[in-house]
């Protein structure tokens, strides 16, 4: 790649060299393919529960696997699955927080009221959507570990899988889960009051 070609793309020659060197790094593509096949569906399932948008969940899952590949993660390491879940929930929570902030500003601008007025959905669908939005808002307000443990547990991960994903002792999972649930309840009641 010539200097002009690299700069024409917005890269310096140094950046272009780094990209070329990075692309030459040896990866065990078969191992990555196997890891992708083994974990992709479960990672997407966790993210769908968190984001309530399959297309966005697949995009975030792709980011997770690209990050593992780009950073030359050892996909044969027994901790690789835990790293994937942890990274997926971190990116999902970031995405959720960005969405919550964006919706806040949209609401302030009156766009949310306009969409609601035009909505012709049945009452039950509206109530369910409102409750999901409330849960996501509360999750976004929790500490990262609290949101992660609640999301992963509600996605069906066992205590052992939670311990691996969050890099904590298995004996601590129950206590941390109880604390996270209590904090969730406290924040929900603080924001929305008790439901009858």
Residue-wise pLDDT for 90-141, tens only, equals 999 999 888 878 777 777 766 545 555 555 567 877 888 888 899 999 999 9
Give the pLDDT score at 8. Answer: 43
Number of domains in the chain: 1
Domain that holds residue 74: 3-192
**Cα–Cα dist 195/90, whole Å:** 29
């Amino acid at each position: 790649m010539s200097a002009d070609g690299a700069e024409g793309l917005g890269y310096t020659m140094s950046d272009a060299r780094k990209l070329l060197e990075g692309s030459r790094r040896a990866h065990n593509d078969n191992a990555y393919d196997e890891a992708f096949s083994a974990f992709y569906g479960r990672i997407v399932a966790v993210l769908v529960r968190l984001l309530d948008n399959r297309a966005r969940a697949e995009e975030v899952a792709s980011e997770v696997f690209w990050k593992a590949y780009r950073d030359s993660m050892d996909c044969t390491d027994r901790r690789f699955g835990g790293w994937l879940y942890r990274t997926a929930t971190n990116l999902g929570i970031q995405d959720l927080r960005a969405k919550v902030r964006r919706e806040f500003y949209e609401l302030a601008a009156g766009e949310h009221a306009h969409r609601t007025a035009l909505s012709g959905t049945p009452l039950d669908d509206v109530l369910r959507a409102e409750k999901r939005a409330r849960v996501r808002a509360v999750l976004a307000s929790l500490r990262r570990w609290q949101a992660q443990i609640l999301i992963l547990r509600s996605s069906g991960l066992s205590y052992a899988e939670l311990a691996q994903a969050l890099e904590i002792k298995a004996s601590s999972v129950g206590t941390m889960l109880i604390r996270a649930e209590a904090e969730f309840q406290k924040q929900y009641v603080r924001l929305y009051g008790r439901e009858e």
